Each structure stands twice: as C-alpha cells, then as structure tokens.
Structure 1
C-alpha cells in the first residue's frame, strides 16, 4: 500500500487541495481531500491523470532531428518520407525494441501513460515474412514491458503505394500484407500481447491510398469490438489524388463508404472541410492530432476550433517522435489555432484542452480514461510544484502554467498500475535504455 499526499490534485469533479491518495496493488483504494500530511505519506506537488498518446511510430525516434536540412527545391512530407523509409529498411527486431524503449520512457517522463502504436514495419529487411508474423510487434511489446507504459497495439495493413490499388514500391517491402496474411498478423499480435498488463489490440488500415475499398470493408470486420485507426487527409497531395481517383475528398469518401463510428480514430484529418468536420463529429469518431509532427512535416493546421464547436472529439499523439513532450503537443495545438485565427485562448483553457485530450485519447485506445478516484487504475503523474514555472500556483492556474509557461519538463513522478516508473523526472531504467539506444545508433550509422 502506498500513500501519496498532494498539495493539489485533479479529481473527476475538478481540482482539490491537500489530497491524500492511497493505492493498493494496481488500484486507487481511497482519496481524501482537505487533509494534512501524516507520517508515512509520500509528499508530492500536483497530481493529475496522465495523457494517452494515441498515435506513435516508435522506430522514427531514431531519426529525430536528422532530417532538418533542406533537401531540394521542395522539401515536404514526401521528401521526408524517403529518409524515413531508409531507416525502416535498416532496423532489426532488437533495434526496434531498443528504439521503442527510449521513446516509451520519454513518453512516460513527459506525462503520456498509454501509447497507441501504429505499427507497420512487419517483415525482415529483404521483405521476407518472419516465421512469427508478430516478430517485430513482439519487440514493441517487450519495450512496453520494460518501461511500464500502457500499450494499444495497432498493426497496420499496408498493401498499395497509391489510390486505385497501385503496386507497392521496393521501399515499402517490409510493410506489405494481403487480407489473409494480415488476419494471421492480428492473431500472432494477440499472442504477443499475452501477459502484458492491460494491453489492447486494434486494427490500422494505413490510409485510403494504401488500402482498396474492398479490403477496408473486410478489415473493419476483423475485430468488431476493437479500435480502428487510419491516416486521412494529412497532406494536400493526398486530397488531390483522392479527388482524381474517386471524385471525393478523403474524409468525405471515408464517411460515405464506411460505417465510421466511435471505434474509429481519424489520424490528422488536417484538410477536412466544414461538412466533413460535421460528419466526423456526428459519427462519434475521434480525430487524432499530432501538432508537433504536423508542424515539423509542414502538414497544415487542423481546424480544431470549428471541430470542437461541433462537439467533436480529439486526442493527441507524438507520431514521428521528433520531440516527445505531452505539454508541448497541447501548447502547439492551441498556438496553431491562435496563429490561424489571430485570437487568444481559442480552445478556452488548458484545463479543457487537457480533459478533452484525455477523454478522446482513452476512447481511441479502447482503454478507460485515467481518473484519480477509488477503484480506478493507479495511473497518475505528479508535477514539481517547486519548479519556477509553477511556484505559488492556484489550482486553476496549474495546467495553464505547465502547458504554456514551463521551460523544461516538470513531470516529477509517474505511476503506472501503482508502480512508480519515473522519479525526479527520470525513468527508473533510463540509463540502461539509453545505453542500448546508443549502441543501435552506432550500428545504424556505421
């Protein structure tokens, strides 16, 4: 049994001061408010539920910061993708485990407690399937077990290089499946997840350009109760190609041709028009926003203010993992809206952005939203109340000061299922994880 005392904590009905939270095993057993600390209490700053990270490509952490030099007259998502494909062709299962372990540790250190891993590097480096279809997925499971992060595994179906069933390119050889081999991948992935605490499994058609309509219909039936994630309308080039192929924009085509509902997460949806936003909101689907990556790749800015006004649901993700920082994802989400609209506090407040991202992310990852309440899983984070950015904060200022004013990470402690995995802002296995990651980078750059 662990007793934690917080100067203030974000409970389901709002912030409360002087809070004692008692955990036993993986659960929160009791919560008291307005109490003084006692002997045996572990004194903390500000406590709150952690954020879900609904969209990650863990292996891309190994190229963070390495593509930030202009590569020609036009440097955009598609030129970046060429560099990313080169990394995808080089990594082994052991490499993936080491890279993902660092990414997952950094997620925990920044306040993400569960990750949706949109996983598409499936086969050996020459494109030959492994004897175990989930060989690469098992590396991600091992990384999640090492770090303690919650995992929703989203094996990706990727079959084509473009709309209309275009044949895949050699650079995509490690990704490719047909519907039957993908069904076997799901079965193997389910076995790989056995024993990993509170793991979830979903499906992930990569994008409309990588999946034929018939295959998409079949895939959606493979896990009738699981989440479905798909990239859609991320790039203007994708929108133009979809119009040429079908006469419809990507979101419009998807909404008209699939039974999109609350199981679905439409990742990015950057270039959705007003009618498409209304259709997504009415469906109950979640839009997966990745502001740092979307800015890094020059994707554009999702019309979040308009979508929220329609009661649309959203969550956030770290996507390419060029910079893993939960607070900065929220900051850039709001700042993007301010720059486009030339207004302040467009999405109302940091508290409301945080609550929406927690609820939308949990829905998209098919996991209960973390809450500091009796009977809930003991998944929570603490912020360092003595950090200069948070000194003398009133409860209604805490999230705003963390998201918009902190110069450095202020997440001090992280507990997952009652086990403390981050102390003093550092993951407990950080040194060993970094050592393995360093070895992988040295081999990949040799």
Structure 2
C-alpha cells in the first residue's frame, strides 16, 4: 500500500509531498514526490495513544453529575460506579468497549492502554476461564480495529493497612497467584489477537501491598522484560494523607524508595506530587499519565505539567473515565489548566518547538507509545502505520500553515476534523465513519437504557 500526503508530520517535522509505502502494517519507506500508484490524501499526522482507559465507565458517563449539597467527591463518585457495574456481563463489557473504541478511533486515538479491573462474575466469583472479561476487551479491540495494550489490574484491599475490600469491589479482587495466572492467560490471548500486548496495572498503593506488588512485577517481567506497568498514584489529597499516616511517606516517594522504576512504568495522575518527588521521578525516566478531563470532572487537582516538562519529564494522556473521548480536548485542557494557574499563555512549548499544539501532540503520541511498549507514536521508517488524515475543507477555515495546523486543531476547532484513520496499515475510519458504528451504537444504546433503570 502507498499513500501520498500533501503534507505529513514526520518524526523530524513537517514535510510536503511525501509518499509513504506500507507493508504488513509497517512504514517501509518515505520518499519525496508522488508515486502514481499511491492513494492521495491531504494532511497526515501520527495517531494518538490513549494511556489510560476504564472502558466500562463509558456507559455511566453522565450518571454521576447530580448535586449533593457540596458533599460530592471522587469517593462518593465511586459509589455510583459500584452500583452501575454490579450486573454487567462479559457481553455487556464487550458492547461498551466496542462503542468506546470506535469513538476513540473517530477522535484520533489509534491505540489504548486498557486498565482492566472488572474480572469476576456478578457474584464476585472467578469465571472458570479467568480471562473471560479480558477476552471481551480483546474482542472489542479486534472488532473496532484499535490497537490494544491490556493491563490486568491487581486489586486486593479497600485502603492502606490491607483493609478488607468493600462489597462494591468484589468483582475486582484477586490473590496474587490467581492474578499472575490471569496475566499469563492474557499474555497467551495477546498471541491470538493482532496488534495487542499485555502489561499489568497494580491498582494503587491503597489496593496492593509491597509483597504482592513485587510478585506481580516479577511475574510480568518474566513474561516480557519491557512490559508496561501502570499504577494510579497520588490522585487525591486523601490518598496522600492516608499514605503518610500508614507509610510515613508520600505515595510517589514510597514507590520510588521501594521499587526500581524505569521508562516502562507509567504513574497515572500523580496529581499531588511535591518538588522532590517530581525531580526523583524525572530521573527514573518513568512517565506521568495525565487525564485532564477526568481529573477535572472528579475534582482531583492539577498536575504541575509546566515544571515537569521543563525539567525533562515525559507525559502521556488518557481519557480514563471517558467523560470525554477526545485527545484534542485532553491536550487543550492540559495547557489551559497551566494558563489558569500561572496567568500566562502558551506555556507547554519549547524554544525548539514554539507551537504548543505541535509540541504537545508529538510529545504525547510518542510517550504514549512508550507507555504501551508499542511501535507507534510517530511517523518514520520502521514504525507502525498508525495515522490520521485531516479534513482539508475543515482545516481551511482556520490558520493552516504548517506551524499553525496543530495549534488550530487543538485550540480553535470545535468539530472533529479527522476524516480517515489508519491503524497498523488498515483503514478503520473512512470519511469519518466506521464500518460497524451503527450496529455498535444501537447495541450500546439498548444496554444503556437497561442500565439506567437500575440507577
């Protein structure tokens, strides 16, 4: 397959009139000029990687916005989540994930890291096939066409000090040996499904202890020495306070002191991080996984993004609870939160790359690929062909010089300007549409109607 791009954002920057040759999902050559056999497209940019997703939560977006006399918080939001998922089946999980992944593709995500913790049946009992729920996620990724990094979640306790799990968490809980067996089963599944891989996600320091975390890390690294390891950490101030009370250390500080972090670790949120933790985290080359729309929706707080990036830190973005499924909105709010704090503009850029939009898109796509251990995130020879084609008619209504394209995309456009999406060398979205989106949305809408009656 060959495509001719009038302009394309390559790893070294914008280039005009380039032909990309793709074989077996990989870009094998990029040459100047038009190959007569190539399909002609306009503006091409790399696909975005979503570093943090809880797929089932897409189905209760909008159900948790009722007021509570100023008493609502992340912790009360969780109760709505527990109530919602109590009766979801594996088929329901597949229906939700398929709808979500099509939405992701249409908005520009070409790969997702699925932080998957809905493991057991509605009674909290393990399925005879431990990976039943996980297999539903693999099938949804296959049907939609999105690349998948599955991260089975180790979840054992309801709070620091190995507090017993509450009733709402019964579908999440695994002992370490069972969890490691589940991970092995998922690893085997990933050999059957194309464009997928497996890591792990210890849920949080409040949900696992040191010994179980050590065992889980050792197990996945025995299967794959570069497997991604993601963990929620320091998302809420209460979590920091509880960690201080139990460990006498802050969460990121404790993790850094007890584990050898590396570039395959991704610390999700890390919202409440102090300067010493920030500096020490940067030194490990681990990633901060930021989810601006969910962090805003849950009232988490704001990550010190400007300082973290200025000192050489790396970040990826995720849609987390899917209150928004749009990388443009995530990046817009990543920058806007810093502007509101600092009362300045155009903060997340560099002297080498003064375009905020271009810097953020290129950085988070590349680091998102690192967070999933996938050969994606930038367009170059040897990389997987995960790319987006922008609608020239819509782009023409905004500043459209090379230097302004991604600034316009992120800060000026209100409607989706992505017309076509390729994943692993295959077109998943053409002219803004997915081949199965109508049946997927109909099934999802029917499920939503049933679920809403129980809330």
The TM tier, using the shorter chain, reads over 0.9
Shift of 1:43: 2.8
What residue in structure 1 maps to residue 308 of structure 2?
307
- Per the alignment, residue 283 of structure 1 pairs with 284
- Tell me what 1:189 maps to: 186
Partner of 1:166: 163
Question: Could you list the per-position Cα deviations for residues 357-390 of structure 1 after superposition, in whole angstroms to 9, with x for gaps in the alignment?
Answer: 0122111111123332333222111111210565
Aligned to 1:55: 52
Structure 1 counterpart of 2:364, from 353, 357, 367: 357
**1:232 lines up with 2:239 in the alignment:** no
Displacement of 1:76: 1.1
Q: Answer yes or no: is the 8 Å Cα contact 1:157–1:211 preserved in 2.
A: yes
Query: 1:12-27, aligned counterparts within 5 Å?
Result: 12-27=11-26
* C-alpha distance in structure 2 between counterparts of 1:312 and 1:217, whole Å: 25
Is 1:381 the counterpart of 2:388? The answer is yes
Compare 433-442 and 390-399 and name the one that shifted more.
390-399
The 5 A counterparts of 1:206-355 are 206-224=203-221, 225=225, 226-348=227-349, 349-355=356-362
Does residue 1:434 correspond to 2:441, yes or no? yes
RMSD after superposition: 1.5
Equivalents in 2 of 1:390, 1:208: separation in Å? 48
What displacement does 1:354 show?
Answer: 1.4
Match of 1:411 in 2: 418
Cα distance change, pair 97–381 in 1 and its aligned pair in 2 (3 A): same
Q: Give per-residue Cα distances to partners, 1:230-266, cap 9 Å, x unaligned.
A: 0000001111111111111111111111111222110
Secondary structure of residue in 1 paired with 2:8: strand
* CA distance in 2: counterparts of 1:117 and 1:125, whole angstroms: 21
State how far apart, in whole Å, the 1-side matches of 2:263 and 2:39 are: 39
- What SS does the corresponding residue of 1:223 show, helix, strand or coil? helix
2:353 corresponds to which residue?
A: none
Aligned-pair CA distance for 1:394: 0.9
8 Å contact 1:120–1:156 — kept in the other structure? Answer: yes
TM-fit CA distance, 1:187? 1.6
**Hey, what does 2:83 align to over in structure 1?**
86
Q: In the alignment, what sits opposite 1:112?
A: 109
Q: Cα distance 1:419–1:59, how it changes in 2: closer, same or farther (>3 A)?
A: same
Partner of 1:423: 430
Q: Which whole-Å CA distance do the structure 2 matches of 1:19 and 1:191 have between them?
A: 39
5+ residue gaps, structure 1, are none
Equivalent pair of 2:291/2:318 in contact (CA under 8 Å): yes
Match of 1:133 among 126, 130, 135: 130
Work out the CA distance in 2 between the residues paired with 1:72 and 1:195.
Answer: 50
How far apart are residue 353 of structure 1 and its match?
A: 1.1
Where structure 2 has 5 or more consecutive residues not aligned to the other structure, the ranges are 350-355
CA contact (8 A) 1:414 1:421 kept: yes
Partner residue of 1:367? 374
Between the two proteins, the alignment pairs up a number of residues equal to: 443
CA contact (8 A) 1:380 1:416 kept: yes
Structure 2 residue 153 is matched with structure 1 residue 147: no
TM-score, with structure 1 as normaliser: 0.96
- Name the SS for the 2:86 alignment partner: helix
Q: Aligned equivalents of 1:328 and 1:54: distance in 2?
A: 15
Q: Is the aligned partner of 1:6 residue 2:5? A: yes
- 1:73 Cα offset (Å): 3.2
Q: Is the 8 A contact 1:116 1:153 kept in 2?
A: yes
Question: Is the 1:390–1:398 contact (alpha carbons within 8 Å) kept by the matching residues of 2?
Answer: no
Partner of 1:100: 97
Measured in 2, the distance between the counterparts of 1:37 and 1:430 equals: 33
The Cα shift of 1:183 comes to 1.0
TM-aligned CA deviation for residue 413 of structure 1? 0.4
1:390–1:267 Cα change, 3 Å = farther
- Structure 1 residue 37: deviation in Å? 7.5
- Structure 1 CA distance, aligned partners of 2:12 and 2:131? 42
Instruction: Tell me the secondary structure at the aligned position of residue 437 of structure 1.
Output: helix
Deviations 1:133-192 (A, max 9, x none): 110000000000001111000000000000010000011000001111111111221232
Native 8 Å contact 1:137 1:192 kept in 2: no
